[in-house]
Amino acid sequence: MSTPANKTLSIELDWAKIEKSVTDSLRSDGALQETLDESYVAEPKTYSQVTEFVSQKTKEAHVALYQQHVEVLNRVSAELDTASRGEANPNHSAFRNLKLDETANLNAVWLHELYFANCFDPHSEIYMDSAAYIEFERTWGTFEDFQKDIMACAMSSDDGWAICGYNMFLKRFVNTFVNDDSEDLMLGLYPVLVIDMHEHAMFKDYLTDRKSYLVAMMRELNWTVIEERVNRVKNIAQALK
């Protein structure tokens, strides 16, 4: 049966029945009768950090940290399958702690992969007729203003990330920052450019000179990778119409 375009299909849910179904599925100790099979396995990727702006020691330490996040994420994912949903509460529970760890490590893995892929291009070059240049100039007025804005976000980050991304609610590109890996994260954001502003990414080579590190990262952005992401945003924007 079709629904008129100007009508909203109304579905009434039997909440008493749903509540009984959930209750019946729990054991007396609060655990699910069946083990959930929702775990996933993240595979670490390999990136060539072809740059002289950071030392080999920093590169190796950064990769090791990334791989550690992957390992922890996979362990958390597996443990979530058997965590008790019935005992979940906002004060303390295994399920709550695992979900927090999942968010932090999943973000860390993804943001590191985005960062490794869009930085460290010694032949960095952007063309004025590229999608990235056109979109950033349209959003910020000039490409120079875009650069100033993303750098201001990076300098505002308290041991976290600077991100340029497409906001699916605003339906435009925005610059923002994330503290740590999961604090102050803007909802509905699809990143196209990511810069790691954690202390571990710069301290061995730049100590507390965050600005010099940031300028070095901006000089070696891989605009080919960023361009691919910006073009992907066009499909996202089309789907949101």
Domain count, the chain: 1
Residue 216 lies in a domain: yes
Q: Per-residue pLDDT averaged across 216-229, rounded?
A: 98
Residue 168 lies in a domain: yes
| 8 Å CB contact between 219 and 111 | no
Task: Give residue 192's domain range.
Answer: 131-239
| 8 Å CB contact between 178 and 111 | yes
Residue 156 lies in a domain: yes
Q: What is the pTM of this model?
A: 0.84
Cα–Cα–Cα angle for 168, 150, 128, rounded to 5 degrees? 85
pLDDT score at 33: 40
Structure tokens at 51: 């740059």
- Which alpha helices (H) appear in 175-222, and where do they start and end? 203-206, 210-219
Structure tokens at 128: 């004025």
DSSP string, 14-60: -HHHHHHHHHHTB-TTS-BSS-----------------SSS-HHHHH
pLDDT score at 92: 95
pLDDT at 161 over 90: yes
Residue 26 lies in a domain: no
Q: Per-residue pLDDT averaged across 119-132, rounded?
A: 97
Structure tokens at 110: 């993804």
Confidence of residue 189 (pLDDT cuts 50, 70, 90): very high
Give the tens place of pLDDT for each residue, 7-54.
445 556 666 665 565 555 544 444 444 445 667 899 999 998 999 999
Residue 148 lies in a domain: yes
Q: What gap in Å lies between CA 117 and CA 189, rounded to an integer?
A: 18
pLDDT score at 40: 84
Rounded mean pLDDT of the chain? 89
Residue 207 lies in a domain: yes
Closest by CA position to 104, among listed 64, 86, 77: 77
pLDDT score at 39: 73
Give the tens place of pLDDT for each residue, 163-177.
999 999 999 999 999
Residue 92 lies in a domain: no
- Percent of the chain clearing pLDDT 90 (strictly above): 81
Show Cβ contacts of residue 168 under 8 Å, excluding neighbours closer than 6 positions: 188, 189, 190, 236, 240
CATH code (residue 185): 3.55.40.20
Residue 145 lies in a domain: yes
